[in-house]
Amino acid sequence: MLRDRFSSELNFANKSYEAEYKANNQNQAYVAETGNNHSKSFSILPDLKSVLPQQNIQLVKASSVHSSAVTAVDIQTLAAEKFQSTGKGLTYKDLLRPQYRRADSSKRAQRILKYHKNRGNLITNTPISIPQEYFCNKEHARLSALYNERSILPQPSGLTSSKADHENAIAERKKAENLGHAVVLAVSDADGVAPTGMHNVHIHVTLPSPAYAKEVYEERLHYIKPQNTKQRAKKLEAKMDNYRVRCLVYPHGKIIITIPCTEKPFPINLDSPEQTSIEFIALVAAIRHQLTTNWLSDSRGIIVPPIQSDAWRFVHADLNWDIPTTALNFLDMCDVQITHFNDVWRFYKKQIDNHLYVRIEQGTHQFSNALTTVSFNESIGATIIAAVKEARDKLRVMKEGAAL
């Protein structure tokens, strides 16, 4: 009897459920929820998939898909691959192409990119591009903007300037695509493509007597703490004409002046030795004025000799050519150093005023030595230009021998 009673109760529950489903056929969501609750208690009740129409189940699955389904690693990898191959960023159109396909519609692709931008997984470029480009990091976005070198927003009239496009095309052809191309542009340099300059300039000054040396070191610079080195030099620094100048004053009366200026090399006008002499002598004169007036309080100018005297010697400097280069070459290039006979050559990438260059550098070109002294007079411009031409000839020989 107990078995018959239990079976009748189960039959009654099943019939009650079927009656409830038929009575509420228009409210399927409620039926589904009620059926699901019953199914937890009675295994003989129909499954949810058999109760709800198949169409509604598909809609539920579609709505559950979110932009986070495309992971941060996945979207950043796509952006990096796009930049490495084209120099441009990832757009919503790319997510619809077979190679990068991650979406079935334009709106879906745009939502994915905006989602990852808001999450900090992607970076947009400046100025805003059309369509918007996305990058995996700030460096790629910056290089892409520099690579274009023009506003990628449309003109108000919808037209672009053909003259500007022509000038951009010419400038693009003059950019080095690799290190060998940069060397070719440096050794030819027929139309002034390669700005020539020098940096890491070293100038030596000798004070007239040991008495002056002691007075300068112990009295006039008493407030400067010496460096913790064997030479015990006292360091002075200042900025003149946008050049950082450093002076090391030694106890025995020697002063070493250094002008690093690697970010802004001193320009060399190969067509005008006179202009090069005037500009370089003016810079050195400004350094002497800073040394005597501001640092040593030598108002009469008797401690530090005039720059035209043999006490001032132009010892050495690094000569360089800065070759404009493409963003892709800038990104892929590695620093190179070559020793050719007694010369050290360096090839490395350099960014100056938001422009990309390959710097070709002859390190430590000697101007003065034990047998020769280069002083600061009207002939120093010709001496510098002759050194540049000599270095360019050596670079040409090295290129032909090493097949750069």
Instruction: Look up residue 316 and give its amino acid.
Output: H
Q: Find, among 370, 372, 324, the residue nearest to 349 by Cα.
A: 324
| Calpha distance 176→358 (Å, rounded) | 8
367 within 8 A of 374, measured Cβ to Cβ: yes
Instruction: Look up residue 102 and give its amino acid.
Output: R
| Calpha distance 183→191 (Å, rounded) | 15
* Residues 322-369 pLDDT 10s: 999 888 888 888 899 998 888 899 999 998 887 889 999 999 888 987
CA dist 302 → 216, 293, 294 (Å): 12, 11, 14
145 within 8 A of 125, measured Cβ to Cβ: yes
The arithmetic mean of pLDDT across residues 209-220, rounded, is 95
Token duo for residue 118:
């808001």
* Residues 163-201 pLDDT 10s: 555 455 555 556 888 888 888 888 886 555 578 999 999
Domain boundaries, the chain: 2-63, 70-104+115-148, 179-402
* Residues 61-108 pLDDT 10s: 333 345 557 898 899 999 888 888 788 889 999 999 888 888 889 999
**Which pTM was predicted?**
0.61
